[in-house]
Amino acid sequence: MTKTEEIEINLLLDAIYRKYGYDFRNYARASLKRRIQNCILRAEVNSVSALIPLILHDKDFFSEVLVQFSVPVTEMFRDPIFYHAFRLQVIPYLQTYPFIKIWHAGCATGEEVYSFAIMLKEEGLYDRTTIFATDFNEEALNTAKEGIYRLANVKYYTNNYQKAGGKSTFSDYYYAGGYDSVIMDASLKKNVTFAHHNLVSDGVFGEMHLILCRNVLIYFDKQLQNRVLNLFRNSLIRKGFLCLGTCESLQFSSVENAFEEIEPEYKIYRLS
Ligand SMILES: C[S@@+](CC[C@H](N)C(=O)[O-])C[C@H]1O[C@@H](n2cnc3c(N)ncnc32)[C@H](O)[C@@H]1O
């Protein structure tokens, strides 16, 4: 990145923060830069600076930028082997709790939330579980609340479900929507509250038994990762569980010593 480009990006992020309160200043620069390039292409302008007046004066354009920056890419039973490990290593502990509180932080369009709801149902835990599913991308949250997904992905999701150790058939959990969509069974969201929460600026969700924040920290720099990891530590009960994405880790973070590794390969941790 040239010095000028760096100055332009800093000005852009500052403009977004001052005008809309969204703070991307501590997002990892390499991936942010790629997404800014996408915005430049879509807006058909030729510099980072040229995005600034558009963002400041056009709220709809900013909404598009927000979607670009948020990367709500997800899938059902993503990394199925993680679910397999979770069933073996964490479910037995959860089975000993009279009630369970779970926070999906950065839930995107909700596929992870429905996947967990299915697993909890199959393990007989769903009815005593309260689930909070949060994201700062309103558009993604609306899709999550609806629970309507593309039929074209179902074959792939069914495969993931089986690899994840699913105990029934995936088709038990959805019904046909239009000709190209499926609707997740409403019972799966009975205990779920979908809510707006910004990990950069918002506070603790108290007394959680389990927090999942998978494939989110990867977009943050070290300083922001530490802020968010401290937020999770303060949101968990003693001996609560934390699950990160496969490319993320507590190594070299400020909370590394506060957690024990339950499944290092699948990034499952437990607060000491
Ligand atoms: C790649 S998706 C991960 C979805 C899901 N956890 C998974 O692993 O499949 C990353 C999500 O993090 C959300 N996100 C990014 N920054 C955030 C922030 N500051 N606060 C809340 N959510 C954020 C994005 O909006 C996006 O939906």
pLDDT for 157 equals: 98
* Average pLDDT for 115-124: 98
Label residue 180 by pLDDT band (50, 70, 90). Answer: very high
pLDDT for 22 equals: 96
Nearest CA to ligand 1 atom 14: 106
199 ligand 1 Cβ < 6 A: yes
pLDDT for 240 equals: 98
pLDDT for 25 equals: 98
DSSP assignment of 227-271 equals HHHHHHHHHEEEEEEEEE-TT---TTSTTGGGEEEEEGGGTEEEE
168 ligand 1 Cβ < 6 A: no
Question: How far does residue 96's CA lie from ligand 1's centre (Å)?
Answer: 30
Q: Does domain 80-271 have CATH number 3.90.79.10?
A: no
Ligand 1 mutation target, pool 216, 235, 266, most atoms within 8 A of CB: 216
Give domain limits for the chain: 3-70, 80-271
Taking the C-alpha atoms of residue 226 and residue 234, their distance in angstroms, rounded to an integer, is: 12
Q: Kindly list the distances between the CA atom of residue 71 and the CA atoms of 66, 121, 171, 185, 215, in Å, as whole numbers in the listed order.
A: 9, 29, 28, 26, 10
Nearest CA to ligand 1 atom 15: 70
